[in-house]
Amino acid sequence: MCEGSFIPSEIGAQHPVAAGARAERPRQLLLCLDGVPHQLIETAKARGLFDSFHSPSRLLSPFPTLTNVGLSAMLGATPPPGYEGLYFDREARELRGGIRKYIGRRTPDKMPSSYMQELDYQEPLHFEFLIYVATDKIWRADMQRFRERFAATAGTRDFFGFLKATDGLLHIRGPERLLTALESLDQILKEIQSYCGEETEIILFSDHGMNLQRNRRSHLQNELKRRGFVLGPNLPGTGRSAIAIPAFGLCGYAALYCADEESAPAVAEAIDALEGVDFSVRRDMDDTVIVEGPGGRARIERRSNASGVSYRYHSECGDPLQLNSVREQMQAGGEIDQDGYAADRDWLTRTADHIYPDAVANLYASLHCRRVQHTADVLVSFRDGYYFGWSPFEYVVDLAATHGNAMRASTDAFLMSTHRRFPAYVRADDARPLLRE
C-alpha cells in the first residue's frame, strides 16, 4: 500500500516526483465519473487511453437514469427523497427542494443518500451549477481537487472519489470535449499508479449513460393543460385532474404525481401521442405495471415462488417495448412456461443488449421497488432527442447530450478495473460487491 503521497502537479503534466516509501500492500481507488456512457469509454480505450484497464463492462443503470437513483442502487445506499433536487413529497403533498439545495455548503440535509457518506472526494456544491457557465475551468478544477485530495489522504486505506464535472461537461460541450478531459484523467491515474505501484487496483465506473445528440424540449405540461389537467406545486386532498410534476434538470424523463391515484390511466393516455414521448409506465395492482405509448400498450407482471423470480410480458395492443420478437425466441427456446412467465435471469440475458436494456425487470422495479422515497404515479420516458425540465435552465444551457430515459444510451453506464475482469453486463443492484468488496 502506498504511504505518504506524491507531489501534486498540473493536469496533463508529466509524472510527479514521489515522496515517501513505495507501497507495502495493495490499495484500492474507486472513482465514479458522473454521466460517462459505456460507448465513450470504449472510444477512449480505442484511442489508447486507460490502457492498463480491462475491457469495460456495461453497468445497467436503473430507470430513470439519474445520479442519485443510480448510485443509491449501485452502492446499496438509502433511496433519495426524489428523482432530482426538486421532488414531490407525498406526505406533505407539495414540491420540496429545488435550487436552494445547491446554495451554500453541502450540509447533511443536502446529502440525499447515504452513499455520499462513503465519498472521500466530491466537488464543492456550487460547482454543480458553475460547470454550465465556466465549463473548462470547473472540470479542470474538479480533477485537480480530486488529485490533491487523494495525495493528501493517508495511504493506509482505500479512496472513493466522485467526479461530477464530467456530466456537466458532456451536457454542454459534447463527447469530443469530454474525451479531452478523459485524457487528463488518464494522465492523473497513470501518475497515481506509477507511484502507488501496479498492485494498487483502480476501479472506474459511472452512474448512468448519456444520449449523445442535440435535444429539444417536450411540451408535456402544455399538453396536459390542454387535456384539462391542473398543474401546480401542491396537490389538494381531492381533485382527479390535479397533477404535480417536478421540473428541474433538463433530462429525458418526467415524474408525475396525481392528486387521485385512480387518475393515472387517464394521465398516461393523455400523453400517448405527444411528440417525444416514448412510453409511460404506471402501477396496476401489486404485481403489475402498464407500459403504453405510441407503440401500443403492454403489461409486465412479476411472480415470485420457490423457483425464483419470473416475469411475463403481455402485449395488449402493439408492442411498446419491442419485446414480442424476444418473447417468441424465448418461447422457441423453452424458456417461457405454460403461464407465459420466464425467469428473471433469462429475460436479462436476452435483453441486456436490447434498445431498452433489461426492460421488464427495470421498469417493474421503477415503480414497485423503493428507488426513491416518494415514488411517482406515472413515469415518462422520452425518446432520445427530447427532454423535460425547468425552463429557466434553457436560457443558459444548450444541450449537447442528456440522460434520464430507459433507452440504451442512457442506461449503459460502465465498470472497469485494472485488476479484474467483470461480467459483460452488471445490474446496478448487483454492483456493490464488485465496487466495495
Do residue 9 and residue 157 come from a single domain?
yes
Do residue 356 and residue 323 come from a single domain?
yes
Do residue 174 and residue 264 come from a single domain?
no
pLDDT value at position 22? 38
Please state, in angstroms and rounded to a whole number, the distance separating the CA atoms of residues 327 and 314. 9
CATH assignment at residue 161: 3.40.720.10
Do residue 249 and residue 190 come from a single domain?
no
Mean pLDDT of 205-230: 95
pLDDT value at position 18? 34
Do residue 247 and residue 342 come from a single domain?
yes
Q: State the average pLDDT for the chain.
A: 90
Do residue 72 and residue 175 come from a single domain?
yes
Are 211 and 409 a contacting pair, CB within 8 Å?
Answer: yes
pLDDT above 60 (res 5): no
pLDDT value at position 4? 43
pLDDT above 60 (res 188): yes
In whole angstroms, what separates CA 59 from the centre of its chain? 10
pLDDT value at position 238? 62
Do residue 232 and residue 186 come from a single domain?
no
In sequence order, what E strands does 64-183 have? 86-89, 94-97, 121-122, 159-163
Query: Which range of residues forms the domain containing residue 13?
Result: 5-78+113-212+406-435
- For the entire predicted model, the pTM comes to 0.92
Dump pLDDT digits (tens) for 220-253.
999 999 999 999 998 876 667 899 999 999 999 9
Dump pLDDT digits (tens) for 131-167.
888 889 999 999 999 999 999 987 768 999 999 999 9
Residue 229 counted as domain residue:
yes
Do residue 126 and residue 269 come from a single domain?
no
Name the band, by pLDDT with cuts 50, 70 and 90, for residue 17.
very low
Do residue 205 and residue 280 come from a single domain?
no
- The residue assigned the cell 507501497 is 23
Do residue 429 and residue 417 come from a single domain?
yes
